[in-house]
Amino acid sequence: MSNKEGSGGFRKRKHDNFPHNQRREGKDVNSSSPVMLAFKSFQQELDARHDKYERLVKLSRDITVESKRTIFLLHRITSAPDMEEILTESESKLDGVRQKILQVAQELSGEDMHQFHRAVTTGLQEYVEAVTFQHFIKTRSLISMDDINKQLVFTTEDTGKENKTARGRRLQDPVPPAVLNERIGESPSRESENRRLDRDHFSA
Domain spans of the chain?
A: 53-202
Question: What is the pLDDT, as a whole number, of residue 139?
Answer: 95
Low-confidence ranges of the chain (pLDDT < 70): 1-29, 156-204
pTM (global) more than 0.75: no
- From the options 1.20.58.190, 2.40.110.10, 3.40.50.20, 3.40.640.10, give the CATH code of 53-202: 1.20.58.190
Strand segments (E) across 39-156: 153-155
Question: What is the pLDDT, as a whole number, of residue 179?
Answer: 55
Q: Say how far apart CA 38 and CA 126 lie, in whole Å.
A: 41
Q: Which residues pair with 169 in a beta bridge?
A: 154
Nearest to 100 by CA among 133, 122, 73: 122
* 72-94 residues labelled b (16+ CB within 10 A) or e (exposed): bbbbebeeeeeeeebbeebeebb
Question: What is the pLDDT, as a whole number, of residue 36?
Answer: 87
Q: In sequence order, which residues have a C-beta less than 8 Å from that of residue 41 and are 6 or more positions away?
A: none
Is 62 within 8 Å of 126 (Cβ atoms)?
no
Question: What is the pLDDT, as a whole number, of residue 130?
Answer: 97
Find out whether 54 is annotated in a ligand binding site: no
Nearest to 128 by CA among 78, 178, 193, 56: 178
Q: Say how far apart CA 124 and CA 142 lie, in whole Å.
A: 17
Question: What is the pLDDT, as a whole number, of residue 88?
Answer: 96
